[in-house]
Amino acid sequence: MKVSMAAPKTQTSRLGDLLDILEEHQQIDEALLRHQETLLGLEFTHALGALEELERRLSRHIRREEESLFGVYAGLGGFPQGAHPDVFREEHRRIERSLKDLLAGARGLTLGAGVRRAVILLLERETRFKTLLSGHAQREEQHLYARLKELWSAEKRP
Ligand SMILES: [Fe+2]
Ligand SMILES: [Fe+2]
């Protein structure tokens, strides 16, 4: 069992956490691809399981960003277009809603007439979800992650 300590985090562990949270962007992309592979094979139980796994990963990632990163980032100020913490937060809500819709779509898939078209339609919706997700992650990496990395690397140096 993990014992949580009240001691404040050192800059080194904050930087380590930042890189760890950043790494989740690739894990989320990979989880979506695993879901799509099973979807293409008409393996609907696995496809739904993989999408639920994606939801767990994504909600943990969003929670970690909002709880550990957004507060410090918001204090830095000087945000370019599309990189304000409120914009990122609003996009998180859109991503969550969009994923809920995809899950509902995946739960409605059953083998039978017209199933291949239903899969194509779901894949098209997932392409729009990917665009939303990757645009969000790219701006986070360019601004939020880059600035916090710079901040916490600089503070670590004597
Ligand atoms: Fe995010
Ligand atoms: Fe992110």
One digit per residue, the tens of pLDDT, for the chain of length 158 reads 455 555 567 777 999 999 999 999 999 999 999 999 999 999 999 999 999 999 999 999 999 999 999 999 999 999 999 999 999 999 999 999 999 999 999 999 988 889 999 999 999 999 999 999 999 999 999 999 999 999 999 876 66
- pTM listed for this prediction: 0.89
For the chain, the distance separating the N- and C-terminal CA atoms, rounded to the nearest angstrom, is 35
CB 127 within 8 A of CB 101: no
Q: Cβ(56)–Cβ(78) under 8 Å?
A: no
- CB under 5 Å of ion ligand 1: residues: 65
The CATH number given to whatever domain includes residue 103 is 1.20.120
Q: Is 29 a member of any domain?
A: yes
State in Å: Cα 117 to ligand 2 middle: 32
Q: Residue 20 CA: which ligand is closest? A: 2
Count of structural domains within the chain:
1
Q: Which single residue is written with the structure tokens 């859109």?
A: 94
Is the residue at 78 inside a domain? Answer: yes
